[in-house]
Structure 1
């Protein structure tokens, strides 16, 4: 089974960990709009793709043997120029500068780490996120525009809508990585979520070629919902509101299955109706980690994915 997971950060990491229990043919398509931390520093100083989410995807797909996954995730301490940088971010930055080709750079890193599968950027150049936010002024309906992934993720206001901009050529629309488009079109199953809804999940739908591929693909399209609302981005969001926002940003997208944690859905009927608007069946199961109710358990998520995909194929 050819599986493609789109996202970024911790959410994509758990999806990839679950998919590895189902199939060896996994492709991660990773957001490239991060502008904070080590990734943001490297992006500003070198003009490169932010490497952090790419690094996390490589680590999720890396083999169990060898030191490289741990080395990639190691961060330098101290107070000097290297403080806070992850080793994997620096290595990816070097590969990106030497090869001048993000797809080749990620392939070289994957070979070094013993990765099973493939990691691709959603765009070959860095992108900027811009959000329309309310609740920041005395008039709660006043709309302000907030720019930057970190600013959007941490805004105390309510995010209404996001847009993507090409960071290097601001007058041009974002361009998808061709290999990512091919992967989506050739997949048997495509996953969106979980993750930061406005800064990791929805951005993939705002790259025109990638959006069109998600609409056209014959793959089973599965959305995995978050376990809890995320402060700053989706505070106060119900599970069904996540789907409403997805529909608002990509009204042509149809989904086959929506997977959610049973304990995180207080009104299943509302979520079922929201899923049906997208053409999807709802799948409720216990997919949270026992000791961390805010994080998915990869094994439990893999079980739910198997059931949902089998049902979609039969249908």
Structure 2
């Protein structure tokens, strides 16, 4: 950051009387990383989480009880737990999975707790708020839609004998594990209902954060829900795109850093972006990335945000430090 930028940043911070209101979009481990960082930067953070998971414990509960898949919502709540003993303990509790030879095997405690509150209260948002209070979560978790969603992907080369043929694949697990290359995604139903609390959070936000995460199954789906997409385009909030550290097999094989932005623009051509955040050492062609970011209206911020051990995951403290450079 230049001296002028640093002075402007400090002046903006001193002028603000309230912490920045940040909405983070995504699901799974990517959103967990983003929230773990953001709660270190602001006390006003809301997660808007995908509800298309159809595998594991979430998929089983979804099929058996007809509820929203709770897994990604649980992970978001765990990420918002504090660093004190209470937060650490409850984070471990809700993330704990049973190991047995019976039907409980693989179920996460937090999934069962969330679904129990949904059944008792009859309200998905209220249930999540109650779990958040119990955990002492430093923020709020909201679902992207009021109903479970299915992701449908157009995949090239799913059949190795026909490398150029296109195949339609349905379901988050199938899309994420495909042997081919995902070219585009859509949702079923196409116009699902969105909780008013979710739309309100987006419209009132100062910043909206996209990614990191599974690009086609966790990040882009938010822009495929019409009511939510309209809010994300119309909000006065500034928008950040945090890029992934490495390609994901099937979903993003062969992606360069700028490809993520090109795919984002193809699925949401009206969306403008203010900041693109990327790992400094992971960009092979920074000039191309900067040019692509500029085409979306964004400036590029390169920072050291990956884990020091070299694993392809974001370090919460490093990511928080990067966010602090521009969140105000």
TM bin, normalised by shorter chain, reads: over 0.9
Q: Partner of 2:176: helix, strand, or coil? A: helix
Q: Output the CA distance in 2 between the equivalents of 1:173 and 1:208.
A: 6
Q: Quick check: 1:20 aligned with 2:54?
A: no
Question: 1:81-112, CA deviations, whole angstroms, 9 ceiling, x for partnerless residues?
Answer: 10010100111111111211100000111111
The aligned residue for residue 288 of structure 1 is 306
Choose which of 78, 101, 104 in structure 1 pairs with 2:123. 101
Q: Output the CA distance in 1 between the equivalents of 2:53 and 2:310.
A: 25
How far off its partner does 1:298 sit?
1.1
Q: Quick check: 1:74 aligned with 2:96?
A: yes
The aligned residue for residue 21 of structure 2 is 2
Q: Output the CA distance in 1 between the equivalents of 2:217 and 2:299.
A: 25
Q: Partner of 2:100: helix, strand, or coil? A: coil
From the superposition, tell whether residues 72 and 279 of structure 1 become closer, same or farther in structure 2 (CA, over 3 Å).
same
Q: Output the aligned Cα RMSD.
A: 1.1
The worse-fitting range, judged by mean Cα deviation, of 217-226 and 140-149 is 140-149
Q: Output the CA distance in 1 between the equivalents of 2:51 and 2:203.
A: 20
The aligned residue for residue 186 of structure 1 is 204
Q: Quick check: 1:90 aligned with 2:112?
A: yes
The aligned residue for residue 54 of structure 1 is 73
Q: Output the CA distance in 2 between the equivalents of 1:26 and 1:212.
A: 21
How far off its partner does 1:267 sit?
0.5
Contact 1:227–1:293 at 8 Å: present in 2 too? Answer: no
1:101-250 equivalences under 5 Å are 101-137=123-159, 138-166=161-189, 173-250=191-268
TM-score between both structures, scaled by the size of structure 1? 0.95
Question: 1:181-229, CA deviations, whole angstroms, 9 ceiling, x for partnerless residues?
Answer: 1101100111000000000000000011110111011111000000000
Contact 2:158–2:167 at 8 Å: present in 1 too? Answer: yes
Q: Partner of 1:218: helix, strand, or coil? A: coil
Contact 2:90–2:135 at 8 Å: present in 1 too? Answer: yes
The aligned residue for residue 313 of structure 1 is none
Q: Partner of 1:59: helix, strand, or coil? A: helix
Q: Output the CA distance in 1 between the equivalents of 2:94 and 2:200.
A: 28
From the superposition, tell whether residues 309 and 96 of structure 1 become closer, same or farther in structure 2 (CA, over 3 Å).
same
Q: Partner of 1:293: helix, strand, or coil? A: coil
Contact 1:283–1:308 at 8 Å: present in 2 too? Answer: no
Contact 2:146–2:192 at 8 Å: present in 1 too? Answer: no
The aligned residue for residue 11 of structure 2 is none
**How many residues get paired?**
305
Q: Output the CA distance in 1 between the equivalents of 2:293 and 2:246.
A: 18
Choose which of 260, 266, 273 in structure 1 pairs with 2:291. 273
How far off its partner does 1:139 sit?
3.6
Q: Output the CA distance in 2 between the equivalents of 1:200 and 1:302.
A: 21
Q: Output the CA distance in 2 between the equivalents of 1:2 and 1:89.
A: 27
The aligned residue for residue 30 of structure 2 is 11
Q: Output the CA distance in 2 between the equivalents of 1:240 and 1:251.
A: 15
Q: Output the CA distance in 1 between the equivalents of 2:233 and 2:309.
A: 37
Contact 1:176–1:208 at 8 Å: present in 2 too? Answer: no
- For structure 2, list consecutive stretches of 5 or more residues without a partner in the other structure: 1-19
How far off its partner does 1:285 sit?
1.1
- For structure 1, list consecutive stretches of 5 or more residues without a partner in the other structure: 167-171, 311-315
TM-score between both structures, scaled by the size of structure 2? 0.91
